[in-house]
Amino acid sequence: MILEEKYTLSNGVEIPKLGLGTWFINDQDVVQAVKEAAQIGYRHIDTAQAYQNERGVGEGIRNCGVSREDMFVTNKLAAEIKSYKEAVDSIDESLQTMGLEYIDMMIIHSPKPWREFHKEESYTDGNREAWRALEEAYKAGKVRAIGLSNFEKEDIDNILESCIVKPMVNQILAHITNTPEALIQYAQDKGILVEAYSPIGHGELLKNQELAKVAEKYNVSIPQLGIRYDLQLGLLPLPKTANPAHMKTNADVDFVISESDMNFLKNMKQIEDYGEASMFPVYGGKLE
C-alpha cells in the first residue's frame, strides 16, 4: 500500500511516498483535513508560509491521533524571502505559528519572488542567503531536511556551488502532459528527490478524453492514473484535497502502468490552459 511506502532522502531521513497538498485549504478547514488524512493513513502533509494555513496544519498534526514522529510535515519559505536574517526569522516564526518543536522539511518556495517569476533577475545571492539560514536550522535540529521548489538547473547549481548541506528535494510542477524530463533527470543524478505538485494538472487533466480512455483501461480514475504516473517516474506526488473520499482514492494506486502506456502519457500534448490557476506564475501567469 502506497501510504506505507517511503523514499529515503540523501541524509537518510525517510519521507512517505505520497503527501497531502494543502494549497487553497483555509486555516480553519485544514485542521479537519489533516485529521481525516491521518486517519486514512497519510503521514505526509505539505504546506507553505504562502498558503496562510500553517497554524491549522500544526493544530491538525498535534491533534490527529498519530504520534508526531510518525508524521512528516513539509513547509516552504516564502518566495519573497531572499536575505539571511529574514529567512532565519521566518523559520522561527513558522515553528511558533505551527506549534511544533521541529518541521520535518523546509524548502525555498521559489528561486524568485512570485511577482518577479518571469523576469531575468536570478536572485543568486538571495537564494544562497536563504539556503544558509536553512542549513543553520537543519544543524540546530529545527528542521530534519531542507530543499528547493520550482528551481531550474541553473538555480540548483547556484546552491550546489556554495552549500555545505546539499538540497534533498526539488518540488516542481510535474504531471501527465507536463513532464520536465531533463530537469527531473538532473536532480535525480544529483541525489535530489523530485516532488510533483499538481499531479492532476490542477484538475485540468480531468477534462482530457484521451486520458479518460487510458484510465478506463486500468479501471481507475484520471487522478489515480496521474498519481501513479508520477510514482513510476520516481517522483513524490502531492495531490491536494480536503475531501476524505478523494484522499482515499488518491492513495489507492497499487496498479502498474505498462511501459508503452507510460511512453504514450509522457508524449501527450501539453495542456495549454490551467483554468482558474492560470493566473499563478507556476502555471504560466504573471502576477501584476
The residues annotated as belonging to the active site are 51
Residue indicated by cell numbers 495549454: 272
With residues binned 3-state (H G I as helix, E B as strand, rest as coil), the percentages for the chain, rounded to 5, are 45, 15, 40
* 18: helix, strand or coil: coil
The distance of Cα 241 from the centroid of its chain, to the nearest Å, equals 13
Cβ-count burial of 135 within 10 angstroms (0-12 exposed, 13-18 middle, 19+ buried)?
Answer: middle
For residue 271, give Cα distances in angstroms to 55, 150, 201, 238, 286: 35, 19, 8, 19, 18
Number of residues that make up the chain:
288
Query: Which phi and psi angles does 202 have, rounded to 5°?
Result: 55, 35
Q: How far apart are CA 21 and CA 200, in angstroms?
A: 12
Task: Put residue 270 in one of left, alpha, beta given phi > 0 → left and psi -120 to 50 → alpha.
Answer: beta
- How far is residue 94's CA from residue 57's CA, in Å, rounded to a whole number? 11
Cα separation values, 100 from 76, 131, 262, Å: 15, 21, 40
Tell me the DSSP string of 209-226.
HHHHHHHHHTT--HHHHH
Grid look-up 529567512 returns 87
Question: What grid cell was written down for 256?
Answer: 502498474
Q: CB-hemisphere CA count at 13 Å for 263?
A: 3
